[in-house]
Amino acid sequence: MTSAIDALISNAKSKDDQVDQMRGCNEAERHWLARKQFLLKNWDDFTEDNREKLECLSQCWSGLHFLGVGYPPQTVEKVREMSFGLPNMSDMLKDADQEIHCKEVKRRRDEQANVITVDNQNSRKRPAQGPPSAFSVAENKKQNTGNADLPAPLKPNAKQIGLFLNLSSYCRKQGAEADLVHCVTMQKQRVSFLSEEVCPEQIQDMEKFYDRSISACDEVVEISIINIFIAQAVAPTREEAKKLALEQAIKILQNMPVVVVSCHRKKANGKIVSELCLVNSRGAKVLGIIPPKLKTPEIMVEPR
């Protein structure tokens, strides 16, 4: 009985190791953990000779859910049939986030244990010294708290991810004729246009971001959907800025991949805040990647 259980455990570990080899080099952790469930569910229905087909179908499943990719009806039907019995996407992403969190906690504990071990070894070799200088104390404090003042990153939920995947797919189908307000309306949502004259306190940050001279008389227009930053543009008039921002938003939605990530933005008073933004590359965006946050903008929502 014990040998049979050991054999089952060994087989499960072997299967898990083989599945892990199918992860793409640029695949997001939470997307991979969800696709891994699809692979494990269908693993025993394929043999060594046709497992490449399973891997392709799992990529189609991932593309349908996370990237809004279109496939032939037969492929879509086959993938849906293979997904029967899996948890819904929201639960799968929650499970993935929980697993990522557990891995991060374990990694931090291991790092802390390594640091303590190294410190103990060094303390045996280090000669006795006098009390540290005020400069060294301040320097160590600065190193230890360099990012302490930055707000924690935000995480998009399944509803937000799904909305922008559908919106991106619809915009790509419209091609050069894509109209942002129309595309968003078809998703039963609205577009927010935030506009104001460039704030004098932000001119320096704006010039640094846009890499050009900007006047306090210039107008800046920012586009957001369900409070997620999409695009921003600066021009001599509000109409020009809005047109440029719309073009930028459509370009982002029509490029791949379309992902909702956390970012840090600087306010006019110098405070740093965390927001969600729509971009074409994975990973949280550090301060300076997304333009400064507007101070007191007028907000217009379309369709009204």
- Give the residue with greater pLDDT, 51 vs 30: 51
- With tokens 């891995």, the residue in question is 103
For residues 262 and 242, what is the distance between their CA atoms, to the nearest angstrom? 24
DSSP states of 35-64 = HHHHHHHHGGGS-TTTHHHHHHHHHHHHII
Is it the case that residue 11 has pLDDT exceeding 70? Answer: no
Write the pLDDT tens digit of every residue in 257-301.
899 999 999 999 999 999 999 999 888 898 889 999 999 999 999
pTM for the complete prediction?
A: 0.55
Contact 221, 232 (CB under 8 A): yes
pLDDT value of residue 194 = 94
Q: Per-residue confidence at 164, pLDDT binned at 50, 70, 90?
A: very high
Average pLDDT value over all residues in the chain: 82
Nearest CA-CA partner of 198 in 210, 190, 209, 206: 206
Q: Which of 56-60, 88-92, 149-153, 236-240 has the lowest mean pLDDT?
A: 88-92
Is it the case that residue 156 has pLDDT exceeding 50? Answer: yes
Write the pLDDT tens digit of every residue in 168-203.
999 999 998 999 999 999 999 999 999 999 989 999
Residues contacting 140, CB < 8 A, separation 6+: 132
pLDDT value of residue 220 = 95
Contact 171, 183 (CB under 8 A): yes
Is it the case that residue 91 has pLDDT exceeding 80? Answer: no
Neighbours of 79 (CB within 10 A): 20
Helix pair angle (158-174, 89-125), 10° resolution = 120
- With tokens 């010039």, the residue in question is 207
Q: Per-residue confidence at 144, pLDDT binned at 50, 70, 90?
A: very low
Using alpha carbons, list the distances in angstroms from residue 160 to 96, 114, 124. Answer: 17, 39, 54
Token readout for 83 is 């997904």
Question: What's the angle, vertex CA 148, arms to CA 147 and CA 153, rounded to 5?
Answer: 75
For residues 200 and 150, what is the distance between their CA atoms, to the nearest angstrom? 24
